[in-house]
Structure 1
């Protein structure tokens, strides 16, 4: 995959000569080397500025038989001076959206279950975290009038942030990829089965 990383204006040495802290450069390399499931296509996206001195960002889609069934993004923020709200110098900010069955959207337990998809994905990839927070939104749509023939639809959206260990960034990227697949309804990879990375994920300038 290709990872976009940008310093905030005023940080680093400017465009074309930005000097990233070694810890951040190592984290970006770990993002790039993370192994995602073959259903996930990940590529760089513009990293947000003004939130932290340094940021790296990924956008991802889950495709099954040529159909997009889930999408999301992951932003890694870094402040060498630390951030009290983060309880650390790094922060992961994730977003996932996927289609669900319309009847699921009315399940009062869906939001709670969807949050466990994140925590279980992090645990499955041995990605230590703390200070997690976020929201789960369930939306259903029913068409009327001239659109009455369209089937009802529903989506679940997960927005979350958490503080990772600096030396485990790759595991957090892989957990985010797993969250994408779980939200999209894909079964987990059985224990003992190696995940083959998707070659489609290696896109962007120079690829």
Structure 2
């Protein structure tokens, strides 16, 4: 992942690519590099993540790192992180009017927990329910989706790794699998059985 770093890549972006490549992800989180937007910034990289369960993915997401060495006035900096995460939720959750506020707090709390230097936070949370009919009567789905972006303060003293850890935590929270302290195991729930 992000292995081809050349002298044409700015130092800050090269450092971020190295951190992305060296990130230690959870064992149940599959990460793949995917195509990144080419017109938004001169340098970009994107990953897709899937938090796996016994049968189906518990949560999926994408994370994009954009870099413009000249800066971008709309970002208020030279880097921008953009994410999209989604997971199925119980019907009781999707109809709760507080779900968008809670989902947004998962995002901001994850950034704060990992001491991320982040400005210009923006985003939306969508809670939706779809009901199947006819041949798809068993296809009812309730989902929460969070789209957000922020300007990370990346430099040698403020690395990308805390932002990657915060994104990993966000995927866990959206999936209903909050991270546990080291050496603590979760009891199996009906959702994973």
Q: TM-score, normalised by structure 2?
A: 0.87
Which range is displaced more, 111-120 or 139-148? Answer: 139-148
Q: CA RMSD in A?
A: 2.0
The correspondence for 1:53, drawn from 42, 65, 73, is 42
| Superposed displacement of residue 34, structure 1 | 2.0
Partner residue in 1 for 2:180: 189
Which residues in structure 2 correspond to 1:1-207 (within 5 Å)? 2-3=1-2, 19-148=8-137, 150=138, 152-166=140-154, 167-190=158-181, 193=182
Q: Aligned pair in 2 of structure 1 residues 114, 5: CA closer, same or farther (>3 Å)?
A: farther
Q: Aligned pair in 2 of structure 1 residues 4, 61: CA closer, same or farther (>3 Å)?
A: farther
| Superposed displacement of residue 194, structure 1 | 7.1
Q: Distance in 2 between matches of 1:129 and 1:32?
A: 21
Any runs of at least 4 consecutive aligned residues in structure 1 with deviations exceeding 3 A, and if so which?
3-6
| Superposed displacement of residue 66, structure 1 | 4.5
Q: TM-score, normalised by structure 1?
A: 0.81
Q: Aligned pair in 2 of structure 1 residues 54, 153: CA closer, same or farther (>3 Å)?
A: same
Asked if 2 retains the 8 angstrom alpha-carbon contact of 1:34 and 1:171, the reply is no
Q: Distance in 1 between matches of 2:2 and 2:55?
A: 24
Partner residue in 2 for 1:202: none
Asked if 2 retains the 8 angstrom alpha-carbon contact of 1:44 and 1:57, the reply is yes
| Superposed displacement of residue 84, structure 1 | 1.4
Higher relative contact order (CA 8 A, sep 6+): 1
Q: Distance in 2 between matches of 1:146 and 1:73?
A: 31
